[in-house]
Amino acid sequence: MPMAPRLALLTNELQPYRVPLFEAIEQRVDRLRVFISTKHEPDRPWLPNWGRLDTVVQRTMTITATRHHPQGYRQTMYVHVSLDTIPLLIKYRPDVIISGEMGPRSIQAAIYRRLFSSSRLIIWCTLSEFSEAGWGKLRTAIRRRLVAGADGFVVAGQSGRRYLHKLGVPDSKIFVAHQTVDIELFSRCPLTRSGDAERRLLYCGRFIAKKGLQAFQSAAADWASRNPNQTVSIRWVGDGELAPALKSFVGPANFVQEFTGPVAYDDLAKHYAECGVLILPTLDDEWGLVVNEAFASGLPVLGTIYIAKPLENWLKTARLDGSTTRTKRVPRRRHWTACSRPHPKRFWRCAFEPGKESAM
């Protein structure tokens, strides 16, 4: 039996929902050390909690940039340039490196791979065709050089696989690993909802432009104004740059909003248990771990094509001609619908007027 490898994992930060996954990986290797660029990024609410993982915080220069995505939204990006990646790797001498994303840390990991030819490099690509749309030729050229020096790639779904194919990566080097969370916390939620909770909508995450929140909020309020006998209730869990705009929005009397502010990860299940539908009106997401949490909690999920495409093996997608794609069954799920376009009115009708998707 071959000896278990010494593994180095390079990532921007150690999110609390990643800790159980990395601890499970740790049990399958000789040794695991996690190298992180920062304790947490400015737009993340959690405090550092690394469990039992051997974690090193690197000396890092962080560049804040603004990207204008072809979808029309503005995105704040944090580019971490860790200055000590190669020296730390040489000191640790890993057999295998898993490096997150395709930026400076992976470029340095590729240099280590060339210096130590017996090592192996796997790039964890948290991306999709939508997330990478609009980048220029220079970035594409750099990535083509980068992927030529890697031994394998991990993507969350078929959209990521197709993007790597465009960079010239052969299918034999691509491994699809669906994103996961420890569902024990969420699987304790009851499968049924009653009273107000049954129709209460839940959004859980960052309040940023690429999530499509303001368009959805406006569409929800418009539906409420046209249906005065129905109450539309949305619980917003999280925080972000759009919080003031979302809170100041004025809708009709039957449009009810609740803002909880940032919530500790261990307390999220309570909010899933008290709501009936998870909304994810995103314009760009590589996966969306809230989908895992919602399914485990017994909630249907309402999303757009920009999450349905990476999740195309899991979500049922309503199309404009009324047809639907067949999907795998997910434990504890009841039903879900995802619109084929992120148009607010279509999105809203899928949520509150089931059966009318084909009429849109």
Whether the pLDDT of residue 277 is over 90: the answer is: yes
In angstroms, the Cα distances linking 274 to 142, 197, 213, 253, 294 are: 47, 5, 21, 22, 12
Q: Of 1, 60, 20, which is closest to residue 36 (Cα–Cα)?
A: 60
Mean pLDDT of 54-74: 92
Query: How far is residue 9's CA from residue 149's CA, in Å, rounded to a whole number?
Result: 17
Q: What amino acid occupies position 218? A: S
**Using 50, 70 and 90 to split pLDDT, how confident is the model at 2?**
low
Query: How far is residue 200's CA from residue 196's CA, in Å, rounded to a whole number?
Result: 6
94 compared with 317, residue with greater pLDDT = 94
Bridge partners (DSSP) of residue 65 are: 77
What's the CA angle centered on 96, arms 118 and 142, to 5 degrees?
90
Is the separation of the CB atoms in 157 and 287 below 8 Å? Answer: yes
Q: Please tell me the least confidently modeled range out of 184-198, 231-245, 283-297, 331-345.
A: 331-345
pLDDT digits (tens, 9 = 90+) for 238-255: 999 999 999 999 999 999
Query: How far is residue 205's CA from residue 279's CA, in Å, rounded to a whole number?
Result: 10
pLDDT digits (tens, 9 = 90+) for 165-221: 999 999 999 999 888 888 888 999 998 888 889 999 999 999 999 999 999 999 999
Q: Please tell me the least confidently modeled range out of 12-21, 30-39, 267-276, 321-330.
A: 321-330
